[in-house]
Chains A and B, each alone.
Chain A
Amino acid sequence: MNEAISKVGIISCSGEEIPEGTVARQAVRRVLEGLRPQQTVTLCLPLFLAGEVGERRFAREHPTITVDGCDKLCAKRGTEQFSGAVSTSLVVTDILGGPARGCHRSTRDADKADEKAVWLVAERIAAEVDALTAAEVPSDVRDVPATSGEVCACGRPSPDGKLEVNGKSVIVNGLPLIFEHLRKNGLQPDTGCAGTLLETVRIYHFIEAAEEAGYRDALEVAYRAFCRRGL
């Protein structure tokens, strides 16, 4: 895969004044660490001014998604002013259908409302990453499965989950995060969970129709184990 064109840049507004800024930032981190670690990179927005030529080339070298907390669109405007045109502009309040009610500026105070908002925004970013990479990368390259040991944009191992599907070992990016999200939403690890697991995981991980049954079984077993560990 040609890294220069396949990595999508994601730039969050800083949004220190408002909870939506923290939601934007946390959602971007979730995509970088868990949902799309191999496909995404980021840069601090104010670095365009404080940094050098390399930083200012960022949006010219990467298809870029900006994630703004409010309609002042600082991330979009700042990126376009100092670097280059953005591919997609997302706004937290648009995605949530209004202000992030019940959310907090400090992560120390974060609760279920923050968690839900971050997930909604992260899922939307991930979908936009998929749309951009699908447009940029040939399909025969796009579906190469992730391999063990890959790292996320911050240099740490990505929180992948391993599954045994039809005798093959498969890595699913961000599987522990997906499980944690479903567990918090009340999905019980019983026989009825496989369908929900499959539909959620396939948002983030390509599943061939012929392999659906194998994935259902593997996800159910893995989710039960995950919930047992979490008790």
Chain B
Amino acid sequence: MAGQNSPAHVLVIPCSGIGKVHGLVSREAVYHVTDKLLPGQADTVCLALLVTGEPETREKVQQTPCITLDGCPKLCAYKNVELSGGKIAKGIRVYDTMKRHRGANFGTATALSAEGWGVVEEVAAEVAEISRHEATT
């Protein structure tokens, strides 16, 4: 989570995909960035808060560069941030990254396999790279 006194440089927002493994990969990639790679610099918000139009969350996404992570072509995270007037620095399609590992077993929507965690780290590294770039521009 971002530090108490300094706002995050970037918000990383996953889709909430609950039916397939792709949603869990997106969500865990966000935590890997916010908790491990860029603690204090990157944060997340509940996508559901945006869906319901909570003013504080809308203001956050409008004022902070956002990186969205989507698990399927419905692009729920991207579209909901966009509809809220958010500043999207990059929309990452996690399923494109997963396609590069054709034949791999990523686990389930409940628990990831070792290969699933591998993709989490791959996506998180990409997000961290974009975040660092956003912080310097």
Q: B27: which A residues are within 8 A, CB to CB?
A: 16
Q: B17: which A residues are within 8 A, CB to CB?
A: 44
Asked whether A15 lies within 8 Å of B48 as measured between CB atoms, the reply is yes
What 1/0 flags go to B88-129 for Cβ under 8 Å of A? 000000000000000000001111100001000000000000
Given the known inter-chain contacts A16-B44, A107-B24, please indicate yes or no for A42 contacting B108, CB distance below 8 A: no
B130 at the interface (CB under 8 A from A): no
User: Which B residues are within 8 Å of any A CB, using their own CB?
Assistant: 13-20, 23-24, 27-28, 30-32, 35, 44-52, 54, 74-77, 79-80, 83, 108-112, 117
Give the docked Cα–Cα distance between A33 and B50 (Å). Answer: 28
Q: A44: which B residues are within 8 A, CB to CB?
A: 15-19, 23, 76
| Least CB distance, A205 to chain B, in whole angstroms | 21
Determine which of A15, A17, A50, A153 lies in contact with B74 in the assembled complex, contact meaning CB atoms within 8 Å: A50
Asked whether B52 lies within 8 Å of A77 as measured between CB atoms, the reply is yes
Asked whether A46 lies within 8 Å of B16 as measured between CB atoms, the reply is yes
Please list the 3 inter-chain residue pairs (A to B) with the smallest Cβ-Cβ separation, ordered nearest first.
Answer: A14-B16, A74-B48, A46-B76
Asked whether B14 lies within 8 Å of A74 as measured between CB atoms, the reply is no
Give the docked Cα–Cα distance between A46 and B83 (Å). Answer: 12
Asked whether B110 lies within 8 Å of A29 as measured between CB atoms, the reply is yes
Give the docked Cα–Cα distance between A153 and B46 (Å). Answer: 24
Given the known inter-chain contacts A17-B45, A26-B110, A30-B110, please indicate yes or no for A74 contacting B18, CB distance below 8 A: no
Asked whether A49 lies within 8 Å of B80 as measured between CB atoms, the reply is yes
A75 at the interface (CB under 8 A from B): yes
Asked whether A17 lies within 8 Å of B23 as measured between CB atoms, the reply is no
Q: B32: which A residues are within 8 A, CB to CB?
A: 106
Give the docked Cα–Cα distance between A16 and B54 (Å). Answer: 15
Given the known inter-chain contacts A49-B80, A81-B52, please indicate yes or no for A33 contacting B110, CB distance below 8 A: yes
